[in-house]
Structure 1
Amino acid sequence: MDGSVAVDDDVLTGRTDDEIVENLSTVRGIGEWTAQIFTLVHLGRPDVLPVGDLGIRRGYGLGWRVQAPTAKALRLIGDGYRPYRSVLAWYCWRADELYGMGKPSAVTGAGDT
């Protein structure tokens, strides 16, 4: 409310993903995951991989038929998908929905009519 945290799209457009996550995470109740999802979904950034998201980790395991990676392992795996890690995240969410019987997601558009 005091203006110390930028939330205006015009201001955020000029910042890196890491700067946005760091800035938003200063607000009590907004953690890294929430800030990353905001950056990926609201701002449409192409290179965001929320490794703390269980659906993404589980979907990676299901999609690649391996054990679901830890957040640390997925961070390393994700490096090979730069600069399009957001696409990897989307496919992982979708794999969790299709193969893991996960609930339809607003992010992937599954279940939209």
Structure 2
Amino acid sequence: MGAENLAELYPHAVSHLSSVDEDWSRLIKHVDPCMHRSKPAREPYEALIRAVAYQQLHARAADAIIARFLDLYSDSESEIVFPSPDEILATRTEDLRSCGFSSRKIATVQHIAEGALSGLVPSLEVASQMQDDELIARLIVLPGVGRWTVEMFLMHTLGRMDILPVDDFGVREGYRFLKSLNTLPNRKEMEKAGLPCSPYRTIASWYLWRVASLPEYARMSKKK
């Protein structure tokens, strides 16, 4: 689904989430408007590699890693273009490490590039026709690629609207704040909590990620 078509669904998503309960309604009023955007032109292997960079890292640190990674394949006079799988596999391990990738992430990036060449990682055209669970099952066989990594691809590239990454710390922490919980909810609790948000769990996730930027959250964190 293209970015324009996605944007058309946002009012419906916001209306639906606001009707879940008073907590959701209050959160949405604080955060609106919804600024979730996908990158529908990205090939799956690129989206997966970008997601790997963000695994267990703050967004600013991951942004810096990706910027250094792209710099390996461009010069000051050329447009920045994401490298091809062949180019990635031809890159020295030391150069990838200099970008900030750990040894484990370097191996994962290389496995993704190999998967793109072998066909295990589908093209964007093929992936767009596949179901969420089908893509997850196909891609998590890649070493270092777990469910969360594929979910980021589903949300931020394919624009799938009903994804709730229940293992994501930001989502879980956002829900903990939303419901004034003393501890982080576990996977089963998050799965249950997400049911009323369907079929717009991607947008629900976006709002939960925004919790960390709320003044109320900052004040609560200082009291701990």
Higher relative contact order, structure no. (Cα contacts within 8 Å, ≥ 6 residues apart): 2
Q: Quick one: which of 19, 27, 36 aligns to 2:142?
A: 27
**Matches of 1:64 and 1:96, distance apart in 2:** 14
1:1-113 matched pairs, under 5 angstroms: 1=114, 2-6=118-122, 8-67=123-182, 68-98=184-214, 99-101=216-218
How far, CA to CA, are the matches of 1:92 and 1:4 in structure 2? 32
CA distance, structure 1, for counterparts of residue 153 and residue 213 of structure 2 = 21
| Gap runs ≥5 in structure 1 | 102-113
Q: Is the 8 A contact 1:59 1:100 kept in 2?
A: no
Contact 1:49 1:89 in 2 (8 A): yes
Task: Give the C-alpha shift of residue 69 in structure 1.
Answer: 1.3
Normalised by the length of structure 2, the TM-score is 0.42
Cα distance in 1 between the residues matched to 2:217 and 2:135: 32
In 1, Cα distance between the equivalents of 2:204 and 2:132? 16
Aligned AA (1:83): P
Stretches of structure 2 lacking an aligned partner (at least 5 in a row): 1-113, 219-224
Structure 1 runs of 4+ aligned residues shifted over 2 Å read 63-68, 96-101
Deviations 1:56-76 (A, max 9, x none): 000111123234311221011
Matched-pair contact (CA < 8 Å) for 1:56–1:96: no
Distance in 2, Cα, partners of 1:35 & 1:100: 29
Aligned identity (percent) is 35
Instruction: Give secondary structure in 1 for the equivalent of 2:173.
Output: helix
Task: Measure the CA separation in 1 of the matches of 2:213 and 2:158.
Answer: 23
Corresponding residue of 2:42: none
- Structure 2 counterpart of 1:111: none
Secondary structure (helix, strand or coil) at the match of 1:47 reads coil
How far apart are the structure 2 equivalents of 1:73 and 1:11?
A: 33
Q: Which has the larger radius of gyration?
A: 2
More helix as a share of residues: 2
Aligned residue pairs: how many?
100
What TM-score results when the alignment is normalised by the length of structure 1?
0.80
